[in-house]
Every structure is written in structure tokens, then in C-alpha cells.
Structure 1
Amino acid sequence: MKQTHQFLHKPIEDKTIVWFENTNEYLILENTTADILKRLSKGLSVKEIATALAKKLSVPLDKTIDFVLDLEKRLYTPKTKKEVDIVNDYRDVKIPDSFEFTKYYKVNNVVFKISYSSETELSYVHPKFAHLTIKKPVKFDHFFDVFIENKYIFFYVNKEFIGAWSPKEIHYFQGKFSMELIQKIHNKEEDKWMGVFHASAVSNGKKSILFLGDSGNGKSTSLALLQANTFSCLADDFVPIDVKKQEIYSFPAAISIKKSSLDTLLPIYPELKTTAEYNFTRLNKVVRYLKPNNNNFFNHLPCNDLIFIKYQQDAELQCTKIASVDAFQQLVPDSWLSPLKDNAAVFLDWFSTLQCYQLTYSNNEEMIATVSKIFDDDL
């Protein structure tokens, strides 16, 4: 029985973006290469495809056969999953009878009880959500348990085991924690989300814009400046987008402010002077957290624009449209994208409609004015 190759393809500009179901990978390919994949998926033999390619490119047949075989092998061989080496099987691990810390967080009308077995687990989660803390309520809607056993961090939601992670995988735990949180806030299971972006999302009340860029480029600082100038923080660092409407959904985490941004932001947010400081040695950064000005964490808005933003001292403001394929290559590696075929198809269609910009600035007022023009489709 001939192997079936499951993939999606989307022409964008002069390239083709291809998604592979067996690995949940996206690649940007030359159109000729993408055409070979289409032929393979239709059941054409390697020799048929290679013969046509040799004729088209005027190269020896043995070369094109090797090329097609290599392409098929590299692109269709399933990735092997690395087994998680937990010292004891998680089924033998029991939720502790008592926890050192219990916090209650309220997101609009949804109340969470989060229990942490020690200060270590507390530090992984609480700082971003401390602004949501309330006194012990009469009742709560969901309870999360976080504890360390045999050096692994375990995570349960409403007594259901979610996962366990080694000390080197704390960021995966934090991502899963956030995913469970948005599922409960917005009443959407994981298969209803198209993806989650490592970005910042700002809103004008009618739509949103995504800020992207490497750590230290100024995403969160720009977001803080904008929320002090009539805009709203929709999400910071963890930006979810749904499948049904392809809209950015609010996420209630605080805005992460690096120490290097304090001089800029203290005149606007004097509360940062006395806000607790957190030293994340693993990430080599020291941050404080700023409460977002969002007052509706159920909010969700369309997004038409991506901005790769960069603060650069003494730079003249430059804002130019960039190629979609270039934006795609920067967006995807730091994102969680749904492994479901239908959701992947929606993501490709949604991405193809976006306007993508590169914005470099040093003057805050000029940056704010430029973002306003993009919101108004006036750039």
C-alpha cells in the first residue's frame, strides 16, 4: 500500500509555504520544489517526477532522482519523539495533602485556586498574575495544583494530570499552564485555538496589532508606552488566537518590564519604583511586572497587522512593509501552532491576509504616532 503524504501548501509572493501533518512543520519552498511535493502526494512515482524535472532543468536523470528521493526522505520521515525520563511513573505520584502557598486569582467572573508546594513553584507562575489576586472566596471555579516531585514539576488541573517537566523544561510547563488558563477563561479547548504567539498585542478597542521581535528589542516597553497613550494591552508574551474567528484573545498576564526600560517608564508609571523585582538567572534577565490596563479579559479582536519592532538608540524612525515570507520565517519558530490539519489551513489563510512591517525607532512619540497611523490604515 502506497504511503499517503499529508501536507498543505499556500503560495505567498514568489514562494510556497508548506505544512506537514506528520511533523507539524512549516517550510518555505521554491515553487518547483513545492510542485514535486504535490506530485508525490498524487501518487506519481519518483522516476516519473525525476524524469520530468530532468527535462525541465536539463540535468542528468540520476541527479534529479537523488534530489526527489532526498526531498521525500527529509520531508516525510516522521520525527521521533523523545521519551520523557521521569524517575517515577507519574501514576505513582500523588497530589500532596498540603501546599505551602495557595493563591486565588479572579479573571472577570472566573475564580482560580492555585496551590504551590513551595516558593520555587510559586516563582514560576505567580509574579505574572499577582495583580489578579483576591482574598479567599466562598467558592471558586477551577483549581490548579503545582508541585515538584523527584526534581520534576507536576501540574494538575481539577485533579486531572496535565504533565510533568524537568528543570530544563520549565518554559514548557509555563506555556502549558498559560494554555490551560486561557482554555478555562474563554471556555475553548485546545483544538479551538489556531496558535499562540510569543509577542505583544495592543488594541485600539476595535482591532489589534501584534508586536514581534527578539528579546530585548522593546516589545513590552512599546506596549507599556502605548497603553499610557489611549491604547489597551490585550496580551503580553503569550498571545492566543482562535480558529473560528481568527481573533486575538485577551490574556491576563502582567507586562514584563526589563530593568533597562525603567528610566523610560518610571515617569509614566511611578509604581514601578516599588514593584517587586525578579531575577531570572536562567533567562539572564531582571524584570518587574506592570499591571495591564485591560478591564475586560474576555475581550477578543481581529488582527490585520504584524509589526517587528525594535528600539535602537539615536535611530531615525523607519517603518517599512516587509515581505510576508520574511515575516513568516520570524513568526513561526517562537510560536505554538495547532497540529490539526484544519487549524493549520486556517492559519495559512489568515497569515496570507496580514500586512507586515518593520519599525525601528528611538523617539517614543514618533513610534506612538506611527502605530496610530497603522491602526487607522493611514501609513
Structure 2
Amino acid sequence: MLEERTPEELRAWLRLALEPGLGRGSARQLLSALGLPHHALAAGAPTLARHLPRELALQLAEPPSAEVATGIESAMQMLTLPGHQLITLADPHYPATLFDCGDPPLILFVRGDVALLQRPSIAVVGARSATPGGCDDARAFARYLAERGWAIVSGLARGIDAAAHEGALQAGPQGGRTIAVLAGGLDAIYPPRHAGLAEQIATHGALVTEYPPGTPAQPFRFPDRNRLVAALSRGVLVVEAAAQSGSLITARLALEYGREVFAIPGSIHAPLSRGCHALIRQGAKLVEQGRDIEEELQRSGPVPQPGAGHGTAMQPELPGWLAARDTGSRTAAGLRTSKRPVNRMLKDPVITRVLDALGYDPADTDTLCRRSGLEFSRVAAALTELELNSVVQRLDDGRYQRRQQGIIYG
């Protein structure tokens, strides 16, 4: 449980966090000089002016503006809801790892398990416009690491972030712990379609933000969100990322904070592999399975041990290296036996859907059915036409892979 704090003390913390013109750095300097927020706010304008610009000192010496007062009371009201907590720099539950970022937030709003912020964690991040294969990777790695006792940190964004949270939750009640760091208030889930996922995370993990209720998630807040993702974690795994990507910002911040950075390689032809390949060239650890991450982190400190009931964790590997299920004996009705112009074929919505599901790594027919949501006969027909037109090739183990100019991807 968090230490008891009076409403006046909480309001003073909120005042410093919400006051216009008072940045995090200036607020921390003020606390260092004058003590806790309610002490600083009671010091008077002359004392405050020794540490702040005169106009800001006069502003703080007065009662809060109507806008700030409304924000304070809105936050106080939210803290009466079940599972909602406010952690301050002075709380023992404040995650010490955030001090490594050099700009730790004054306060954190948390919905869920506050103690989870003390648990060893690994961030899993990547592209919003991720491929189905990339999302599969993120789920598999996150599930394995969660089963091994790690908390999985990500940003609740579309694509890789959401898949990482889902994978961690799939580890079950004993191991499925995940932390979503938000770029807005706890009541402003973004994207809105992840509201259901956010509810699951609040139940089995924690939603965390430095922003008060009512704050919308906006692009200029994402870098701040990313710094917390990086600082909370022992290491950052980048699954897919374009050459210019917010995930690369998170990885760069992680390096600045002394964290390990891991990246999954992909096809040299896949745009979302370029960011990962750039990280690997710059020294990130190339990983093929969850064990690679744990072995690397063991060199820098203790790693969590799976608790009783976590079950046996399977090692996730890249889809291109997964054992393929034999689909050679299956047949499908209505297979095309003749070619049609490639440009016309690629406008076929079923063909496009199957190609999107295939991505740039080998996949078997069952996987493509699951990813595309199409029945087997339609996927098989599409693959046959794509093979006839030399867009894909069937490998010896029964999986399919894209071609380009006669070169097989991967």
C-alpha cells in the first residue's frame, strides 16, 4: 500500500505538476531547495523568487487559477475510483529507474498494480503499421518473457505495442503482467479501439501516465511517453521499425539510459526491417528467441525466475524458422489453373489480403488462414495463382514465400 498522504499534500503535488510555466526541471529544483510541495507553496513569493523567475514565483504564491484548480479537483476525484493511485517522487513505490532518464516526472497516475512498477521489465516496441508476422513475433516474445517473470512494457499503440501487451496477457494470471505507458490521461485511452485492451491491462497489469485526467494523447506527447517506456525497462526489444520511427527514438533513449537494445532481423526487402537492421549495425543485439534476451540481461544483473504455475515456456522464434505444418495433402476446390495479368491479379482483394498476411517471411497455409481470416479454399486458390505468376514460391517444407525479380525474400 502507498503511504498515507493528506488531501492537502496530494493537491500540492498536483499544483506543481499542473502549474503553467513550471517545467519538471524547475519543479524538481524547487523541491530540492524547499522540501515537499506543500512546504514550497507555503514559502511565500520572496523565497520562491530566489529559485524561480519573479513572475512565476508570484504566480505560485497565489491560489491556483480556475483552470489549475479544476484540474486538481478532477484528479482528486479520479483517485477515489477503485484501482487508481497517484505516485509522487517522494513515494517509496516511485520506480527508481525513472531517475536514469534525467527528467523524471513529478507524479505518475496509475491504474492497476502499483507494485508492478518495481518488477524487472522489458519493453517491446515497434511499428504501428506492423505486418501480421511482426505482430506474431511481438506476441510470442512477450508471452515467453512474461512467463519467465518479466513485466512487458509498451505504449498501447496500434501494431507491435498492442501485440506485445496481448502476448503478455496470454501468459496467464501467474505470469501475464504488462505495463502500458500512455501519452494522455487514464481516461483518454488512445487509440479508442484499444479501450478493451486497456481494461484487461488495468486488471492484470498497470496503466501508467504522467498526464492528469482529461489530457488527450497528442503526437508531441509521444516522445515523453517513449522516455518512460525506455527508462522503466532493463532492455528494449524492437520488433519492426521503419527507417524513421518512434520506436528508434525509444531505442536511442534506452541506450542513453544504459539499457540493452535488442532487434529482430527481417527481410532485406521489407521496409519495416530497415529500422531493426540499422539498430543492429549500430550495436543492438540481434535476437532470434526469448532466451537470447535473458542470456544477455543475465550479464548485467539478476533476472526474474518463473514462479510456480507459470508453466513451461516455449521459445518464440521468427516465423521463417518455425516448424511448418504439412499442408501438402490438402486440396481446395476452385483453384485457378491459368494466369491472368499480374497487375490485374494484384488488385484482387483476396489476393491482396493473402499477400498482406504473408508479409516477407515464409508462412504455411494454416498461418495465412489465421492471419487473413479467410477460409482455406480461398487462401489456397490465391496462393496457387500467385505461384503461377511467380509472385510467391512454395518451399520444400510446404510454406510459401514472396519472390522479387526471381530472388526469394528472406
TM-score when normalising by structure 1? 0.31
Q: Which structure dedicates a bigger proportion of its chain to strand? A: 1
Larger Rg: 2
Q: Which structure dedicates a bigger proportion of its chain to helix? A: 2
TM-score when normalising by structure 2? 0.29
